[in-house]
A = this chain, B = another copy of it.
Amino acid sequence: MAPTLADILAAVERIRPYAHRTPVWTCASLDRAVGARVFLKCENLQRVGAFKFRGACNAVFSLSEQEAARGVVCHSSGNHAQALALAARLRGVPAHIVMPSTAPGVKKAAVAGYGGQITFCEPTLEAREATQARVVAETGATVVHPYNDPRVIAGQGTAALELLQDHPDLDVILAPVGGGGLLSGTAIAAQETAPGIRVIAAEPEGADDAFRSLAAGRILPSVQPRTIADGLLTSLGSLTFPIIQERVERIVPVSEAGIVAAMKFVWERAKLVIEPSAAVPLALLWERRIDLTGLRVGVILSGGNVDLEKLPW
């Protein structure tokens, strides 16, 4: 079931002792470059370097003592894995992270650094799900899905809620879309607290399954996505899709060149390290894919986890 505003408000209180209330930042040269007044919600400055900590933290601290004691599990090699590992460590319970043996060493080290217990598997979705099921059977751990979970969606929605507390008069709010957890939480938080606000998503052209799903009226899988925005490769979920259908004005594809240009501009001028996925909604502004001239636009900067040895310029 879709979370409500009450769920998001409860999440705010639940994660407050653990998550950062991230700053909202503005940059005059960015405003000039895109012709709008942009308010950057800096989730790159969130713990583990991504908004994902909000959802994972809300999920872990929603569990009963009994449930929590048996631990949590997910299959992920990205920001969600790190987020779940840290949230579990903060609650003092085990986090089992199923990762393909082919995952980059830096991602394995990051999860281990937050105390996650890694179980390796073959690099296929079937192997990941089978391995996760085995961990559940052996430990009784609770699965925390990266986006198709109402506790996770409610947690992700806290970023937009904070943004609108700081700047209640936004005209539009932009977020990237991968599995749709951030986007659906953002849409609920925004529309329930700022009626009339427009919620628009951006997606890489090379991974435009959410755009096509909205057009088709059903979830289309993400097949061989090709984009630098490696946080946005997944398909929508059964829980996130209807929320997005109901609440999101449109999903706008953006180019790879636009993603890189917007990302570099933010590094150079706003002095913030953001990952390609976070640059996706900025690319929508950068490329002026839709006319937002003169509007007050909130942007969820989703994260800042990049390999400094492999920058895309």
Give residues in A with beta carbon < 8 Å to B: 23, 25, 28, 42, 44-45, 47, 49, 264, 267-274, 304, 308-309, 311, 313
Contacts and interface: CB of A to CB of B under 8 A. Distances in A.
B45 A28 contact: no
Contact of A271 (B49, B269, B309): B49
B45 A271 contact: yes
A44 B271 contact: yes
Given A23-B23, A28-B47, A311-B311, 13 more contacts: A25-B45, A42-B271, A44-B271, A49-B271, A264-B308, A267-B273, A267-B308, A271-B273, A272-B272, A272-B273, A273-B273, A308-B311, A308-B313
Contacts of A270: 45
Nearest to A269: B49
Contacts of A274: 271
18 contacts: A23-B23, A23-B25, A25-B45, A28-B47, A45-B270, A45-B271, A49-B271, A267-B308, A271-B272, A271-B274, A271-B304, A272-B272, A272-B273, A273-B273, A308-B311, A308-B313, A309-B313, A311-B311
A245 B270 CA distance: 36
Q: Which of A264, A269, A271, A273 has the most CB of B within 10 A?
A: A271
Contacts of A273: 267-268, 271-273
A145 to B, nearest CB: 26
A106 to B, nearest CB: 10
Nearest to A270: B45
Nearest to A43: B271
Given A23-B23, A273-B273, A308 B268 contact: yes
The 7 closest A-B pairs by CB, nearest first: A271-B304, A271-B273, A44-B271, A23-B23, A267-B273, A45-B271, A273-B273
A214 B119 CA distance: 57
Q: Which of A304, A311, A313 has the most CB of B within 10 A?
A: A304
A311 B25 CA distance: 25
A24 to B, nearest CB: 9
Contacts of A272: 271-273
Contacts of A271: 42, 44-45, 49, 272-274, 304
Contacts of A309: 313
A126 to B, nearest CB: 34
A258 to B, nearest CB: 17
Contacts of A42: 271
Contacts of A264: 308
A48 B44 CA distance: 21
